Amino acid sequence: MRPGMQNTKSAENNIRHLVYLLENAIMNLDEGQEQMSWLIDFTGFSLSTSIPIKVARDIVYILQGHYPERLAVAFLCNPPKIFEAFYKAIKYFLDPKTAQKVKFVYPRNKDSMELMKSYFDVEDLPGEFGGNGTLKYDHEEFSRLMAEDDVKTAKFWGIDDKPYHIANGSGHSTAEVAPEPAAPIAQRVS
């Protein structure tokens, strides 16, 4: 996840998208694997790309209430320093087991990079996180994979393989993927 690339202000749609991605990630876990590692890259994060406290609280409620023990570890990469201080205050609202799974890592910190290497294969881990891998986001490929997962989900629930098109008020249906924006909103305004 890359909160710094946030390009929408709809809290409800942000939460729906997060749940959609979580459900697809769960569906694609290897047989017998129950937990996931999250790598959240805060590079480019700013007040204009941040989410309101209420939305963050709603997300925590959803994650703890509906996805208990799905999280193996969450790496918060390159967050603003103030975020770590803020986290120390709010972690008391989290389940203690969940709070222990959150790790703050910084690209220029040797201990952070060693921690990343202890959890991830260095050959697969992208360079910006201390590895040798390369990862280039391809919106068309992502859209194709999500469409395949929509078909898998429909089959799992016994629904035909035609995605349901529910209008969401934006001119797109929830089964469509909007075109990738040219740049994050914060960059377009400048």
Domains and CATH numbers, the chain: 3-135 (3.40.525.10)
The helix-helix angle for 139-156 and 11-27 (nearest 10°) equals: 70
What would the pLDDT profile of 112-168 be if each residue is shown by its tens digit? 989 988 999 989 888 878 788 887 878 899 889 888 988 888 888 888 645 555 555
Give the integer Cα–Cα distance in Å for 73 and 100: 8
Say what the pTM is.
0.71
What would the pLDDT profile of 27-43 be if each residue is shown by its tens digit? 999 999 999 998 888 88
Question: Could you give the count of Cα atoms lying within 13 Å of 7 in the half-sphere of its Cβ?
Answer: 12
